[in-house]
Amino acid sequence: MTASAADVTVSAPAPARPAYAGIATRAVALAIDVGIAHVIVLSGGAVLALVGSMVGDQRFGTLEAVLAAVAWAVVVGTYFVLFWTTAGRTPGMRLLGLRVVGPDGGHPGLVRSALRLVGLALAIVPLFAGFLPVLVDDRRRALQDFMAGTVVLYEISRPPQIVSTT
Amino acid sequence: MVLTGVIRLGVSLPVAVLERALDRALAGPLTDAVARSLADHRVIERIVSAANVDRLVDALLDDPRTEALLDRALASPGLERLVVRVLESRLVDDLTERVLDSPELQRVIEHIVASPEVLAAVTAHAETLTEEMVSDVRRRSRAVDDVAERTVRSWLRRPPRPQPT
């Protein structure tokens, strides 16, 4: 037996358990982000190298190597922190339908994003072992999430629930 | 009475005599006089005036015999053989080559390709294709998420994670 149209109302979605993002989706998103960030770094480096070659004979010594490493870290770090803070997701996360949220459910702030960046670096250094907790944690958190108090969620467009009043 | 007499006279006259008489009449000034009269009174224009042509076309199209004639023509093997012969002739190839080489066709193609409708359709198709690819990647990666998690949890003898609602 089905309820008639007069007996049915459309209500707001009920509070639901969030859909935490798993390790494979997060890995693909991270790979895309790393690729984009390195395209930015390499483009900047190529421009600087072109300018240097036009100015004169530039030798790539220890100082230049250190400066290049610092520039790489700044660009890549800024990429992640900027997108986490302003949009709650990086381009790679957007493509994979993910978003990172703080304890209040909103975008992580600047400090929390910076802390998350440090956690991300620490998770990557031991051959990505910092991501393994995602496989066993009930909220699928990685090392950077534990450190920053964040979680990564799937974006799910939830349709309004049909509730019968009879 | 007069008409009957003329017919009788015509039947009785030999054909050769009639031919000579007709030839003389056409060679003389009669033909020019008839032509002038037709032009002066605009007989041709009046006959093929739009109203007359429309009436004629309507009558032809409404006539069931026209439809029957068309059906017979289309069903006839002779017409099929004729069409096949035309299609297999060099004429079609030459015409096709000429059309393909013509600058008019190039202009038509450029016009179609540059039209907003075609561009919108191509863009929409590309967007749909991209969306389908992204959706497919998402679906597959999420399936791998679940498989990897279930596998590791089973190794560690941990209960399955509570599913989202």
Task: Give how far the C-alpha of residue B10 lies from the chain's centroid of Cα atoms, to the nearest Å.
Answer: 51
**Does residue A77 fall inside a structural domain?**
yes
Task: Over range B4-33, report the average pLDDT.
Answer: 75
Determine the Cα–Cα distance for residues A43 and B150; give it in Å rounded to an integer.
41
Instruction: Report the amino acid identity of residue B89.
Output: S
Query: Each residue of B75-134: pLDDT tens digit?
Result: 888 888 888 888 888 888 888 898 899 898 999 999 988 889 898 999 999 989 999 999
In sequence order, what are the beta bridge partners of B73? none
Contact between B148 and A28 using a beta-carbon 8 Å cutoff: no
Rounded to 10°, the helix B77-88/B90-101 angle is 50
Determine the Cα–Cα distance for residues A100 and A26; give it in Å rounded to an integer.
11
Q: Which residue among B141, B158, B162 places its CB closest to the CB of A24?
A: B141
Q: Which residue of A has its CA nearest to B161?
A: A138
Domain ranges of chain B: 115-165
pTM over 0.90: no
Q: Would you tell me how many other CB atoms lie within 10 Å of the CB of residue B126?
A: 10
For residue A16, pLDDT beyond 60: yes
Residue written as token pair 């520039």: A71
Contact between A17 and B165 using a beta-carbon 8 Å cutoff: yes
Contact between A17 and B156 using a beta-carbon 8 Å cutoff: no
Q: Which residues contact A29 (CB under 8 A, 6 or more apart)?
A: A90, A92, A93, A95, A96, A98
Provide the ipTM: 0.77
> Of B142, B154, B138, which Cα lies nearest the Cα of A136?
B154
For residue A162, pLDDT beyond 50: no
Mean pLDDT score of chain A: 86
Query: What total number of domains does chain A contain?
Result: 1
> Of A20, A136, A124, A26, which Cα lies nearest the Cα of B141?
A26
Task: Over range A15-19, report the average pLDDT.
Answer: 76
Within chain A, what is the greatest distance between any pair of CA atoms?
A: 85
Contact between A25 and B145 using a beta-carbon 8 Å cutoff: yes
Determine the Cα–Cα distance for residues B92 and B149; give it in Å rounded to an integer.
66
**Does residue A37 fall inside a structural domain?**
yes
For residue B74, pLDDT beyond 60: yes
Q: How far is A5 from chain B (nearest CA, A)?
A: 26
Give the domain range for residue A78: 18-156
Measured in residues, chain B has a length of 165
Rounded to 10°, the helix B30-40/B15-27 angle is 60
Task: Over range B57-67, report the average pLDDT.
Answer: 86
